[in-house]
């Protein structure tokens, strides 16, 4: 299983395997991603939009949006592949394909047609085989082009409406356990603290909310994909007390770390 590093400009693959149904509230990805459910189904709620994805769908996750997720096994297991995409690769694709964005409504779940399926298989294979980065990116461009030609690229290629929040998220992801304060973040972003707070208010956000959101979702990834103990994940997420971390995690996602771990199966498939 690959360790996801949002600050590295390379593709990363996460394989999720679960033996029990579970729901997660307020899930947020900090880089765009594409997901395919190999077995079972995934129900997603994005605002008022509710969609269900199975083997005949591809899921497009834009960065920064909050989504409610329910994973349901079939024949005893839920299995999905998620490829995380550095924003710079999408920006490069848009530059090279100026007509890539469509005027259609952005959707999370899109049809998994034969052309996209072939490109997706090539992308997964290149990542699993640790092919040269250039070949992995070439395969990604094939997937993006297939989505563009089918008219479904808008969800991934759209621009975020909260650029300052995105910059703060990426900064915190460098070291989630660090004792982040507004003054330090403002300094690193080359602005004053009052200016930072004012701009965040304009985007409808607060610093402490962003900090906890990043820590919780980074911890979620590790609980799903690593074999680290809950205590170690808590520490890596900025919590000295594992029980306090567990309480905050449960409050945030609606599921305790222990309950999540009980349904997950770590390991490549």
In this prediction, residue 2 carries a pLDDT of: 47
**What pLDDT is recorded for position 105?**
59
pLDDT below 50 — which residues of the chain? 1-3, 6-7, 267
Distance, CA of 143 to chain centre: 18
The ranges assigned to domains in the chain are 12-157, 163-263
Nearest to 216 by CA among 231, 230, 234: 234
- The pLDDT assigned to 168 comes to 97
**R_g of the chain, CA atoms, integer Å:** 18
| pLDDT at 111 (0 to 100) | 95
Q: What is the pLDDT of residue 266?
A: 61
pTM assigned to the model: 0.91
Q: Check: CATH 1.10.10.60 for 163-263?
A: yes
Equal fold, 12-157 vs 163-263: no
Topology adopted by domain 12-157? Jelly Rolls (2.60.120)
What HEC string does the chain produce?
CCCCCCCCCCCEEEEEEECCCEEEEEEECCCCEEEEEEECEEEEEECCEEEEECCCEEEEECCCCEEEEEEECECCEEEEEEEECCHHHHHHHHHHCCCCCCCCCCCCEEECCHHHHHHHHHHHHHHHCCCCHHHHHHHHHHHHHHHHHHCCCHHHHCCCCCHHHHHHHHHHHHCCCCCCCHHHHHHHCCCCHHHHHHHHHHCCCCHHHHHHHHHHHHHHHHHHHCCCCHHHHHHHCCCCCHHHHHHHHHHHHCCCHHHHHHHECCCCC
pLDDT at 269: 53
């Amino acid at each position: 299983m690959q360790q996801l590093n949002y600050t590295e400009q390379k593709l990363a693959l996460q394989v999720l395997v679960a033996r029990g149904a579970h729901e997660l509230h307020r899930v947020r990805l900090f880089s765009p991603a594409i997901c395919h459910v190999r077995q079972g189904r995934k129900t997603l709620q994005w605002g008022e939009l509710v969609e269900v994805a199975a083997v005949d769908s591809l899921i497009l996750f834009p960065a920064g949006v909050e989504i409610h997720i329910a994973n349901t096994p079939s024949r005893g297991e839920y299995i999905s592949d998620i490829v995380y995409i550095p924003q710079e690769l999408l920006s490069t694709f848009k530059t090279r394909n100026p007509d890539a964005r469509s005027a259609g409504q952005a959707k999370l779940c899109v049809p998994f047609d034969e052309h996209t399926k072939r490109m997706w298989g090539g992308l997964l294979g290149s990542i699993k085989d640790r092919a040269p980065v250039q070949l992995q990116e070439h395969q990604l461009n094939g997937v993006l082009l297939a989505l563009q030609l089918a008219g479904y690229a808008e969800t991934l290629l759209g621009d975020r409406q909260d650029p300052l929040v995105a910059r703060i998220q990426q900064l915190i992801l460098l070291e989630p356990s660090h004792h982040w304060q507004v003054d330090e973040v403002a300094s690193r972003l080359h602005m004053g603290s009052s200016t930072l707070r004012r701009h965040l208010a304009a985007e409808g956000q607060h610093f402490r909310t962003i900090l906890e959101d990043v820590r919780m979702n980074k911890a979620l990834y590790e609980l799903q994909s690593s074999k680290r103990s809950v205590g170690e994940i808590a520490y890596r997420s900025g919590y000295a007390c594992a029980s306090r971390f567990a309480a905050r995690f449960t409050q945030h996602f609606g599921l305790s770390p222990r309950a999540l771990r009980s349904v997950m199966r770590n390991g490549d498939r």
